[in-house]
Amino acid sequence: MMDKPSVMEELLAECIIYWLFILGIIVSSVVALHYYLSKRRYYQLARKIPAPPGLPIIGHAFNILMGTEEAFRNVWNTMSDCDVCKLWLGTRLFVFIKNPADIELVLNSRIHLCKPSESNLLKTCLGDGINTVSGCQWKSYRQLIAPMFQWSQTFQPILRNYSRILDDRLLKNVGKDIDCYNYMSDAVMELLLISIFGENTDTEESKKYFEAIQKLKEIIRYRQNKFWLHPDLIFNLTKYSKLQKDLLRIINRFTRQAIKNRKRALMEQGYGWPKNGYFEDQNGNIEHNNNITTCLKEGDRSPSLLELMMEVSHNGTTLMDSEIQNQVDALVLEGLDTTALTGSFFLGVMADRPDIQERCAIELSQIFGDSDRQVTFEDTLQMKYLERCLMETLRIHPPVPFITRELQQELRLASTCLTIPANSTLMVDVKKLHMNEELYSSPDVFDPDNFLLEKCVSRHYYSFIPFSAGPRSCVGTKYSMLSLKVLLSSILRKYKIFPSSGQESASMMTKDTRRTERFVIKMEHRKR
Ligand code: HEM
């Protein structure tokens, strides 16, 4: 049997507990004070920024728990009266801006180039793509990839082939209800397949790859909006975790195989594969790797983006296979949904506004006359009215409604005397900017003349930023405008578009921030 503790021992135990308690209070006070002192400026600056009503301590987390749409709607209402607005998510600060002068300060800067930590979710799935990394790594990827998109003409033979494929598919749908988004995303998918992976890639595997990328994007978006799903520990308990793993398996298998196939094809043509900027010829001699593009350009086809990436060398280092894989996935991820949404909304508006559709058709008949010939790059340069309609589509319905940055340094705004603290997440509200009455006289009305030259020059340069602007803007801008012109002009030259009965008016859906509107249209042959 154990002896009962003596009075002395009991006193000693009480004393220890007492001092431990005191020590605990001191340590937590020091930690809290240190946190407050280190963050004092952060909170001082943040306090001055206007906000929609929130709760103490948790801020707007409750709103976000109800769904980000609700939280963003609050921001939308608050921002009707002021250019800046904040949202608290626990201790994380999100600041929304919509004034072109402030936007220019951020997007044009060489300092504020970092993506916020939410993009880490994308990074953990698809690796270090140009769209998620920051710093030197981003700079070197950007220097490699951006020039590949300067060669609009090199896409022309591909686009020409493509509009023929599109014609066949359209013929099958004449007179039927067509879901614009499904239709456009199939079309853009094929286009991206040809441009990125080269020819003969329209297989079951490639369809699965694109489907997987789209589903993965949905899962990532869902997870980004539910902050309690951010830690892997919790996310791994959900059904989405398994689905994500399956999708990643499909994506990785497809891209790896595509790289392997292109390498084999190039080797069969007499080119070995480059090692650190060099390649082996058939006799095993090592030569500098600078003539695959030349070889392909001199042949009867343009190099695909994958081939360009495989070839490209920078500062003596070649992209590794895994890096190429990440960049290819990043391009598909960024390019598919955005281009498809724009085309879909454009078709919805055309169905809704026969007057505008007719003006496009007249412009196209002036370019092509009665000819059935395929569209050329030069033709696309003459499609001025169609281009203005596309820009107006992107104004009213920007596929990327928020452009985000993690601020590494404080940012003093130009429009007010407010300063946004370092380490906050900046959200450029593209939709709100494009709906500003001071920039566009009737912002809710679909009016392609908003993009007449004289109107454009009288507005602030950063009044229209669907592709963002500055050093981190979209690399696919020219590519997507060119491909949309080819796709949409091919449709409007031959077909008249009508709304399907019961269809919500596309040109009136200006206030809604939803991303994937569904428009159903009908097509009939256009009389020459
Ligand atoms: C209508 C079509 C498109 C729109 C509206 C659009 C819009 C955007 C926007 C707003 C950004 C964010 C830029 C920033 O953070 O400042 C972006 C980035 C990007 N886009 Fe696009 N995009 C489109 C099509 C494409 C296409 C077709 C591709 C490629 C095939 C592409 C590739 C990229 C890439 C790689 C980035 C990341 C650039 C970087 O971080 O340096 N985009 N895009």
pLDDT, residue 72, reads 64
The answer to whether 97 and 403 have CB atoms below 8 angstroms apart is no
pLDDT, residue 60, reads 66
> Using a 6 Å cutoff on CB, does residue 337 contact ligand 1?
no
Query: Atom 6 of ligand 1 has which residue's CA nearest to it?
Result: 467
Q: What is the CA radius of gyration of the chain?
A: 27
Angle at 153 between CA 149 and CA 156, to 5 degrees: 110
pLDDT, residue 46, reads 92
pLDDT, residue 156, reads 61
pLDDT, residue 205, reads 84
> Using a 6 Å cutoff on CB, does residue 467 contact ligand 1?
yes
477 Cα to the center of ligand 1, angstroms: 7
Q: Which DSSP symbol is given to 89?
A: E
> Using a 6 Å cutoff on CB, does residue 142 contact ligand 1?
yes
pLDDT, residue 24, reads 93
Averaged pLDDT, groups of 10, the chain, 528 residues long? 74 89 91 82 91 69 60 64 82 90 95 85 83 89 85 61 68 83 84 77 79 88 81 89 93 88 74 46 46 48 76 61 88 90 93 95 94 87 97 95 93 94 93 93 94 95 96 93 91 90 54 56 84
Query: Atom 17 of ligand 1 has which residue's CA nearest to it?
Result: 474
pLDDT tens by residue, 451-474: 999 999 999 999 999 999 999 999
Ordered by where they begin, the domains of the chain are 118-268+304-525 (1.10.630.10)
ipTM of the complex: 0.99
**Cα-Cα-Cα-Cα dihedral sign, residues 446, 452, 454, 459:** positive
pLDDT tens by residue, 336-358: 889 999 999 999 999 999 999 99
474 is in an annotated binding site: yes
Question: Which one, of 395, 393, 433, lies nearest residue 415 by Cα?
Answer: 433
Q: Which helix (H) or strand (E) holds 495?
A: strand 495-499
Q: Which amino acid type is present at position 450?
A: N
Distance CA 290, CA 188 (A): 31
pLDDT tens by residue, 10-27: 888 888 999 999 999 999
Q: Which residues of 92-125 are buried (b: 16+ CB within 10 A; e: fewer)?
A: ebbbbbbbbebbbbbbebeebbbbbebbebbbeb
> Using a 6 Å cutoff on CB, does residue 401 contact ligand 1?
no
Distance CA 36, CA 43 (A): 9
pLDDT, residue 225, reads 77
Query: Atom 18 of ligand 1 has which residue's CA nearest to it?
Result: 474
β-pairing, 402-406 with 178-179? unpaired
The answer to whether 492 and 350 have CB atoms below 8 angstroms apart is yes
Please give the number of the atom of ligand 1 that sits closest to the Cα of 465: 10
By most ligand atoms within 8 Å of CB, the mutation choice from 105, 332, 474 for ligand 1 is 474
293 Cα to the center of ligand 1, angstroms: 25
115 Cα to the center of ligand 1, angstroms: 13
Distance CA 55, CA 73 (A): 17
Q: At what angle do helices 384-396 and 477-494 cross, to 10 degrees?
A: 110
118 Cα to the center of ligand 1, angstroms: 17
pLDDT, residue 303, reads 73
Query: Atom 7 of ligand 1 has which residue's CA nearest to it?
Result: 467
335 Cα to the center of ligand 1, angstroms: 6
369 Cα to the center of ligand 1, angstroms: 35
By most ligand atoms within 8 Å of CB, the mutation choice from 334, 342, 434 for ligand 1 is 334
